[in-house]
């Protein structure tokens, strides 16, 4: 199919931007699918910082990476992504980041991402994003907290200054039951200002 789902499209976008040796962030490691994808793109000379608030998710991600021999270039952190500014070295130039929001598949559905911490993490990433760097968010409006988070993120993304940021919403229009959609935020060439 030419038209991809939101997760597949997020990988397509990331693969266009990330080069071997880059520093990137998986803000929601979960079961490690996105972390593994990033680890392969940056290779052994790059660095992936993967965050999750659940031990179970960190363990699942660790195992997935080890099974594929891709753990060397990954630092996993069992903390909320909004703390990333205290964790990632200050001089790191971040090329790309991915958020795959909501709850851990097959995990506790009460533990979900929240708009306040998601937006705080997003702002920290924007401040340190490389020129032409990219942040992608896969957003799930199909559960009640997810709808609140989706609305907050759309409001946030829409007000970003077009002088510095190019913002895309990508969604399949005819799928039932509020399918996930993607928000992509790209730093304009040469713009290296604070978020906003
Ligand atoms: N990217 C994952 C993958 O490829 O398997 C799927 C991520 S899953 C949809 C969402 C994850 O976000 C859950 O594992 C959950 O624990 C995590 N999460 C929730 N709040 C978080 C926070 N504040 N910081 C980091 N991770 C968080």
Q: What is the CATH number of the domain that holds 68?
A: 3.40.50.150
CA of 133 relative to ligand 1 center, distance in Å: 22
**What pLDDT score does 193 carry?**
46
Q: Indicate whether this model's pTM tops 0.80.
A: yes
Residue to probe by mutation, ligand 1, list 7, 27, 52, most atoms within 8 Å of CB: 52
| Domains identified in the chain, total number | 1
Q: Is residue 195 part of a domain?
A: no
Atom 23 (ligand 1): residue with closest C-alpha? 80
Assess if residue 193 is contained within a domain: no
Q: CB of 40 within 8 A of CB of 70?
A: yes
Q: Torsions phi, psi of 26, nearest 5? A: -105, 105
Per the domain annotation, does 76 fall within a domain?
yes
pLDDT for residue 192: 54
Q: What is the predicted ipTM?
A: 0.99
Output the six-digit token pair for 187.
């730093």
Classify residue 196: in a domain, yes or no. Answer: no
Inside any domain, residue 194: no
Nearest CA to ligand 1 atom 4: 33
Closest ligand 1 atom, CA of 118?
Answer: 23
34 lies in some domain:
yes
Could you give the CA distance from residue 59 to residue 63 in angstroms, rounded to a whole number? 6
Q: Tokens 């991402």 correspond to what residue?
A: 113
Distance of CA 192 to the CA centre of its chain: 20
Identify the three-state secondary structure at position 160: coil
> Would you say residue 32 lies in a domain?
yes
Q: Which domain holds residue 83?
A: 6-187
Q: Looking at the DSSP assignment, which residues form a beta bridge with residue 94?
A: 23, 129
Asked, for residue 17, whether it belongs to a domain, the answer is yes
pLDDT tens readout for residues 27-68: 999 999 999 999 999 999 999 999 999 999 999 999 999 999
């Amino acid at each position: 199919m030419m038209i991809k789902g939101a997760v597949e499209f997020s990988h397509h976008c990331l693969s266009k931007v990330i080069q071997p040796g880059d520093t990137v962030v998986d803000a929601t490691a979960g079961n490690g699918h996105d972390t593994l994808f990033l680890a392969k793109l940056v290779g052994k000379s790059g660095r992936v910082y993967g965050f999750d608030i659940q031990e179970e998710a960190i363990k699942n991600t660790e195992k997935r990476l080890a099974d594929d021999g891709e753990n060397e270039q990954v630092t996993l952190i069992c903390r909320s992504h909004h703390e990333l500014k205290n964790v990632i070295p200050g001089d790191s130039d971040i090329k790309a980041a991915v958020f795959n929001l909501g709850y851990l598949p097959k995990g506790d559905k009460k533990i979900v991402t929240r708009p306040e911490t998601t937006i705080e993490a997003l702002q920290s990433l924007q401040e340190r994003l490389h020129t032409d760097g990219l942040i992608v968010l896969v957003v799930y409006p199909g559960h009640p907290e997810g709808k609140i988070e989706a609305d907050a993120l759309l409001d946030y993304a829409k007000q970003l200054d077009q002088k510095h940021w190019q913002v895309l919403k990508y969604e399949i229009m005819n799928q039932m039951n509020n399918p996930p959609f993607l928000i992509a935020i790209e730093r304009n060439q040469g713009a290296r200002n604070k978020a906003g």
